[in-house]
Amino acid sequence: MHTYKGYLIDLDGTMYKGEEKIDAASRFVHSLVNNNLHYLFVTNNSSRTPKQVAEKLNQMDIPAKPEHVFTTSMATANYIEEKLGADVKVFMIGEEGLEEALQSKEFTFVDEDADVVVMGIDRNITYEKLAKACLSVRGGATFISTNGDVALPTERGLMPGNGSLTSVVEVSTGVKATYIGKPEAIIVNQALEVIGTSLEETVMVGDNYQTDILAGIRAKMDTIIVHTGVTLKEHLVKEKVQPTWSIDSLDDWKF
């Protein structure tokens, strides 16, 4: 029996696989609810809004309200406000989730001479958008990327992730972006504030060692890896720091 009071939970590979349901995930989150435990979905997906994420989870019989969702877009918007204030000019490349998160702040959106360039996954990327990002970064803008994921699993195969799009601006300008999403501590520290449980009371749950588990390890949290997604059991052998717990299915977790 485990005594964690708060669960930070990854989505893709942990709660579902693309559009495919993971039945144990539904049972797992229902158990969290039944045991009056706190939980927050923490995702590197910058394209969706919390409402859209909650709806997808509900369709898979996973109890979730928008306030149970913390995206890297929200973490990015918070980070900019904290570090640079609300009175900044932002040039953004990204989709709806990032746009909504940035709009929730009082930033001014600009096309040139930005104080901050923010990049999130944008499947409508154009050369002109990349050019504008490069020009502002060369002009001295702070350069922020929602997450460094290099590949997105889809039914077609692994598609370019935001980390690979971000590299265009990094390679062209020679300026490295500050990354916000897992495995960075930035998103985890913010998520802990949102969930409201302490570091010691909270556990990070995910399928990907390089993002979810490393994020937990770096934040000095306990971690649960579930082998339903990216990281297979045999991959773990080569990692120096092991997850606190390793399970094949969320059904194996005893509350």
Report the alpha-carbon distance of residue 71 to residue 28 in Å, rounded: 21
Among residues 135 and 219, whose Cβ is nearest to a copy of itself? 135
Among residues 158 and 241, whose Cβ is nearest to a copy of itself? 158
CB of 124 to a copy of itself, least distance (A): 7
Whether residue 212 contacts residue 182, with contact meaning beta carbons closer than 8 Å, is answered with: yes
Among residues 86 and 158, whose Cβ is nearest to a copy of itself? 158
72-84 vs 96-103: helix crossing angle, rounded to 10:
30
CB of 79 to a copy of itself, least distance (A): 23
Rg (CA), the chain: 18
Report the alpha-carbon distance of residue 217 to residue 209 in Å, rounded: 10
Residue with the two structure tokens 């990002």 = 133
Among residues 130 and 194, whose Cβ is nearest to a copy of itself? 130
Among residues 71 and 173, whose Cβ is nearest to a copy of itself? 173
Alpha-helix runs per DSSP H in the chain = 23-34, 50-59, 72-84, 96-103, 127-138, 162-173, 185-195, 214-218, 233-236
Among residues 108 and 126, whose Cβ is nearest to a copy of itself? 126
CB of 228 to a copy of itself, least distance (A): 22
**Closest Cα partner for 46 from 64, 69, 22?**
69
Q: Which residues lie below 8 Å from residue 55, measured CB to CB, with a gap of 6+?
A: none
Structure tokens at 21: 């349901």
Structure tokens at 84: 């640079």
| Residues near a copy of itself (CB under 8 A) | 122-127, 130-131, 134-135, 138, 150-151, 156-161, 163-165, 167-174
CB of 122 to a copy of itself, least distance (A): 7
CB of 156 to a copy of itself, least distance (A): 7
CB of 177 to a copy of itself, least distance (A): 12
